[in-house]
Structure 1
């Protein structure tokens, strides 16, 4: 019989000493599954002085052993199949929120397991430098219409919900399921979803889903305005340690520092991943019979290339899966953005899509060569996150390698850094004047389009690959700081065209570069 990991051995030291204890406990390959399962169940670092290096070392050691999948066999009968309305009724009691009543600017609500969130996650706090386990206690939950679990059950948690009490309190972030998390700025509704890591999305061999095993949350100082979270990540192909610093406000910032350890060669890995919903809009309706004129929480992809070019690409709900790659080196920023802020554009007083956040990624450090990847998935429902965006490095991660990456994530109304150029704010398309031609109207809005001299000298530079451009026309509206560009695309016999449009005046751009993929 294999011998389980001795937790005291592992906790005797810190940093590399802790790593050595774990290695010693799992030398024999037959012992590895028991040792790794013990990591998930053994109240890691509880009662000890916390050092972020401990999480990094735990990830390093985990990478030297096969992954032990999370299991959900301990859930009470029926919990894994709870309908959403019953599951959402299970909430922590107000007095059970972590740091409730301590005036620390944040409270943390442990989230119950159930519904699709069946995998166990361990939660710890770091108070006065010491690690303390957040113990599961059914008496701290209101179960609504769901029968409570047995009194002695230790179910751990599915994640956590974070609220800030700074000035005007609001719910600011949620970490739940795999490595999913979401946030928002003040005054917004939850919308787009982020992932700490994405592996092989859209591939025929199947996507690999990493997951969080544990979180360590540092108790915030009163009025500090920030919350620091550490996490241990695991997957079949790699492990990782994360440090996330959350700063909520009119723009909510999350700084992410991540160290990854590859078990295998990774030739398709994604950083800074964001997902969102686009069902229909003026640029892509696909014949939807919906009372709402538009249904989307994101409208497009914003990029700032390594050379400084500002690019915008509207997203769509295609008839077939679409994958686009935007090659770059050391990108300055990218993200999924919601540019439509007029409630009349949606006429949906329940979903309030105009209040959904834009998510902007600012790489920190040298990211090298790679591409911004955009995946657009056909969808018939407005609850599907059918648009995925992330950075894919050109160089694969070698087996046994250690990789560090960092970025700043802004959950905002618009990206914090603005281009100073006119933005593409509206787009329409429809039948052209003859044959298979398509007619496009693109609106650009910006202060520079209010200047009569600039407007008079402005020209639209439009190209398509393949196909031809016809009937270019500009309508200036300087009183509205707007320029409307109309043109037709003749695809010939092709069923896909890549379009590119930029406004220039005096040889210099006065607008961002607008890209679009048209498919028949």
Structure 2
């Protein structure tokens, strides 16, 4: 399995498109036909043209999804593929949306993405007001493009690739929907990174992964600075209706309340609810796997879980030599997320893409999810342009043809998850050669070092009886685990060697610091792969 075109194209193209917005005054929406501009001039705009209204509600959308699922799947056709092929990366970024054509959703402007070689299937976009939906009529006048742009050859009904919501001054956007069922927001630090998806189907399996699409969007202002995005999703195995209530909170990030109704055409072996997609190449834990000059390169450095029983878990990410799926079983989970914990610029040294500012995304169920597992898929990568990390909730019961499923949850796009952490948390994971410096290095032995920091450790000293609690698989020997404060910091460090005989497979480790039998830290779940062990033997 290799990273797919969808997240890769999304990462390459939207970073340029997002920077295109400028601040202008907006006129009211227009619903009449436009008068053509004289040749050689730019047509005047006062918002997009809207079609005739039709009754709309989320229940109507859900009924449409159910009806779709009862019929054979019909993909959205691609028209003029030869023209779209010519609108490559270089040509696509030259096509700029004209801010004066923005669709106003209360005080939130919406702007549209143009079709291109990476986004060939159009989506329909509607404005919802007073219980009625009016489609936004595509018009090339909404876009500025060079005179020699191949996009001029598209027919007048070409359609849009997706949309984004702008901040009121239109100097930046804060969320976009572009490609398959992908969307992403810029978080508290206004830096795009990982993506969310409406659904994940058979990710990391031997069968091909399926990518359903949001085919229609119904946008409505909701007051209080909120915007509602209703979306119709369709794919070979499933159709669905989504209602997403979005709110941008300056300096705090975004909150999205999501309700999804899913209707299955076909069985799904691995269903991913609330999937998150990110990139992890290397960090302090596997620095030896890259020759790049930067100390670390990743959008996310760990999976965080708050279990149904309230246990806090941290699983550092890996870049394995094969596709690896890790499952963490639970019932009525409180939350999980892909988190960028390391916010120190010195650990990245990249002032172009600012990995230190990438958002963390926390998934909070707002209805009981029952039994299932948080699943983490890690795919090998040797570059930062590929999204190679996926995390989602996989329900215990796999859906069959004819099944219906409902889920509701809240997405938090923040700098830190909205989780009360009374225990200390992991701040770094490192592995290296085992043994003692200056002495012969023992064979088949590596060293693991984990740093913790947090209020539960504040003020404690070596005399306070802090102990490492570490467990490893049968046959893997733990050697001399100990803990000590890191001089000049508020951190505590856990150190141990492990000895894995030749032929040992993946080593799953579990560890935390304790005092008088009570945990002082979250549970650290380390995973070390055979290729990492072999490199350090």
TM-score between both structures, scaled by the size of structure 2: 0.84
Aligned: 1:440 with 2:445: no
Bigger RCO (CA 8 Å, 6+ sep): 2
SS in 2 for 1:452: coil
Range moving further from structure 2, 143-152 or 441-450: 143-152
Aligned: 1:384 with 2:386: yes
Q: Residue 500 of structure 1 is aligned with which of 488, 501, 510? A: 510
For the 8 Å contact 1:359–1:410, the answer to whether it is kept is yes
Aligned-pair CA distance for 1:286: 4.7
Q: Which residue of 2 aligns with 1:86?
A: 91
Over residues 6-62 of structure 1, what are the superposed CA-to-partner deviations in whole Å (9 max), with x where a residue is unaligned? xxxxxxxxxxxxxxxxxxxxxxxxxxxxxxxxxxxxx99951232211100100100
Residues 21-420 of structure 1 correspond to what in structure 2 (within 5 A)?
Answer: 47-75=53-81, 77-99=82-104, 104-144=106-146, 146-150=149-153, 152-165=155-168, 170-221=172-223, 224-249=224-249, 250-420=252-422
Q: Distance in 1 between matches of 2:463 and 2:429?
A: 20
For the 8 Å contact 2:188–2:413, the answer to whether it is kept is no
For the 8 Å contact 2:376–2:389, the answer to whether it is kept is yes
SS in 1 for 2:472: strand
Residues 1:243 and 1:514: Cα distance change in structure 2 (over 3 Å): same
Residues 1:141 and 1:282: Cα distance change in structure 2 (over 3 Å): same
Q: Distance in 1 between matches of 2:155 and 2:304?
A: 50
SS in 2 for 1:248: strand
Q: Distance in 2 between matches of 1:231 and 1:45?
A: 18
Hey, which bits of structure 1, 4+ residues long, moved more than 6 A?
none
Residues 1:390 and 1:151: Cα distance change in structure 2 (over 3 Å): closer
Q: Distance in 2 between matches of 1:355 and 1:440?
A: 27
For the 8 Å contact 2:51–2:137, the answer to whether it is kept is no
Aligned-pair CA distance for 1:405: 0.4
Range moving further from structure 2, 190-199 or 417-426: 417-426
Residues 1:506 and 1:87: Cα distance change in structure 2 (over 3 Å): same
Aligned-pair CA distance for 1:149: 2.6
Q: Distance in 1 between matches of 2:139 and 2:434?
A: 64
Q: Distance in 2 between matches of 1:165 and 1:220?
A: 15
Aligned-pair CA distance for 1:500: 0.6
Q: Which residue of 2 aligns with 1:491?
A: 500
TM-score between both structures, scaled by the size of structure 1: 0.87
Aligned-pair CA distance for 1:128: 3.1
Aligned-pair CA distance for 1:455: 7.0
Over residues 270-294 of structure 1, what are the superposed CA-to-partner deviations in whole Å (9 max), with x where a residue is unaligned? 1010011111111123531111011
Residues 1:506 and 1:151: Cα distance change in structure 2 (over 3 Å): closer
Q: Distance in 2 between matches of 1:208 and 1:151?
A: 28
Q: Which residue of 2 aligns with 1:458?
A: 466
Q: Distance in 1 between matches of 2:84 and 2:353?
A: 27
SS in 1 for 2:365: strand
Note the residue ranges of structure 2 that are not aligned, 5 or more in a row.
1-48, 436-441, 531-537
Q: Distance in 2 between matches of 1:430 and 1:295?
A: 19
Range moving further from structure 2, 46-55 or 407-416: 46-55
Over residues 348-403 of structure 1, what are the superposed CA-to-partner deviations in whole Å (9 max), with x where a residue is unaligned? 11111001000100012111111111111111110110011011111011321221
For the 8 Å contact 1:436–1:492, the answer to whether it is kept is yes
Q: Distance in 1 between matches of 2:486 and 2:463?
A: 9
Aligned-pair CA distance for 1:454: 9.1
Aligned-pair CA distance for 1:184: 2.1
Over residues 193-229 of structure 1, what are the superposed CA-to-partner deviations in whole Å (9 max), with x where a residue is unaligned? 11110000111121111111100000344xx211001
SS in 2 for 1:135: coil
How many residues are treated as equivalent by the alignment? 471
Residues 1:338 and 1:427: Cα distance change in structure 2 (over 3 Å): same
Aligned-pair CA distance for 1:267: 3.0
For the 8 Å contact 1:125–1:132, the answer to whether it is kept is yes
Range moving further from structure 2, 255-264 or 81-90: 81-90
For the 8 Å contact 1:367–1:393, the answer to whether it is kept is yes
Over residues 67-95 of structure 1, what are the superposed CA-to-partner deviations in whole Å (9 max), with x where a residue is unaligned? 001221235x3423533232122121010
Q: Residue 489 of structure 2 is aligned with which of 480, 501, 505? A: 480
Note the residue ranges of structure 1 that are not aligned, 5 or more in a row.
1-42
SS in 2 for 1:54: helix
Task: Tell me the C-alpha RMSD between the 2 structures.
Answer: 2.0
For the 8 Å contact 2:467–2:514, the answer to whether it is kept is yes
Q: Distance in 2 between matches of 1:441 and 1:336?
A: 22
Q: Distance in 1 between matches of 2:270 and 2:151?
A: 42
